[in-house]
Amino acid sequence: MKEFQPIAARPAPIKTVGFTAWLRDNLFSTIPNAVVTLSVIALLAYYLPLIFDWAFWSANFTGTTEDACVKEGACWVFINAWSYQFFYGTYPVEEVWRINLTLVLLVMVIAASFTLPKSIRLKASITSWLLLPVVGIAILDGRLLGLEVVSTDLWGGFTLNVFMAAASIIVAFPFSFLWALGRRSEMPFIRSVSVIFIEFFRGVPVLSLFFMGSVMLPLFFAEGTNVDKLIRVWLVLIFFMSGYMAEVFRGGFQAVPSGQYEAADSIGLSYWQKILLIILPQVIKVSMPNILATFVMLFKNTTFLLIIGIPEVVQTLQTALSNSYWLGGHALEGYLFVFLVFWGSCFSMSVLARRIERQMNTDKRD
């Protein structure tokens, strides 16, 4: 008796697999597609060598002054020489560990809030998030910890963008939650106050808010009180952010089915028990993508601080470009650098965001 031997599977026809088939399907499927493909290749072939030549082969990498830029291409010496300023501003070199420590704390808190064991995660991460701005400011300023005081006019560079964005969103988070609750409230006074606040800060461009904070606000303070410029701007960012986040949260509240509210009522939970134990966890889960998108937006908005002379990274770049020893036109290198730094951080944030979303997605796995 012959045992049944299936014929080995035949490979797919040569026309449908492999590189040529992929090319045919994706790049040359129709005549217009083929034309577009060829012209894109032609453009790349023409420009890429020029760009690479400028950025790498005939670029200047070593040296500390502008005189070192002798070759035709990019002057990366400029970025190298100013890199400390671009990252840390004028923060004293011997104290810079404080900035690094704060950055490490920030990363640790982010990591902790989704790697800690589930039983303590919520309480531990909320506490550490709320403590972070206080601890961070104490470390950077130094007054409370008995370190050398570094006044805020010395803070600057890219780390200032990061800290301003992080500090505003952390403080804005609880506030925006309250504003969103207020807007859904049935008490007319609370509701109208919330609506006015949210609509004001959402309806006014952030640039004009910065101008108000830096130019108008000081005129209304009592004589002799000088609120630090950075604190004024921080307040503006918090208000702006909480207006936006309130709307994000409101969307989250609306997405929670009304059965959840009614179920909570029916087992006799109080208002705050209902909101905090039943509704809020679901709201945060639903709103997570939007919260992170808003954060990326705010982070990029911190570069607008340059119009009121806060030495964040773009302002530092412009200061560097106007130094009389660096007047040789390095704007392209500088802005390319800022572009890469921001793109790198925003891209890693969205990778992180996707990971958090996947982790929180407990009911609708696909």
Residues in touch with other proteins (CB under 8 A): 81-82, 84-85, 89-90, 151, 153-154, 211, 214-216, 218-221, 223-224, 226, 229, 307-309, 311, 315, 318-325, 327-329, 331
Nearest to 172 by CA among 251, 106, 235, 250: 235
Decide: residue 205, CB within 10 A, 0-12 exposed, 13-18 middle, 19+ buried: exposed
Q: By C-beta, is 65 or 361 nearer to other proteins? A: 65
Least Cβ distance, residue 333 to other proteins (angstroms): 13
Least Cβ distance, residue 208 to other proteins (angstroms): 12
Q: Cα angle vertex 245, ends 240, 251, to 5°?
A: 145
Q: By C-beta, is 30 or 324 nearer to other proteins? A: 324
Decide: residue 252, CB within 10 A, 0-12 exposed, 13-18 middle, 19+ buried: buried
Q: What is the DSSP letter of 93?
A: G
Q: By C-beta, is 53 or 66 nearer to other proteins? A: 66
Distance CA 41, CA 48 (A): 10
Q: By C-beta, is 33 or 65 nearer to other proteins? A: 65
Least Cβ distance, residue 295 to other proteins (angstroms): 27
Q: Which helix H or strand E contains 40, and what residues bound it?
A: helix 31-52
Least Cβ distance, residue 148 to other proteins (angstroms): 15
Least Cβ distance, residue 268 to other proteins (angstroms): 50
Q: By C-beta, is 324 or 362 nearer to other proteins? A: 324
Least Cβ distance, residue 285 to other proteins (angstroms): 43
Distance CA 40, CA 26 (A): 14
CA atoms within 13 A on the CB side of 364: 4
Q: By C-beta, is 323 or 348 nearer to other proteins? A: 323
SS3 (DSSP) at 312: strand
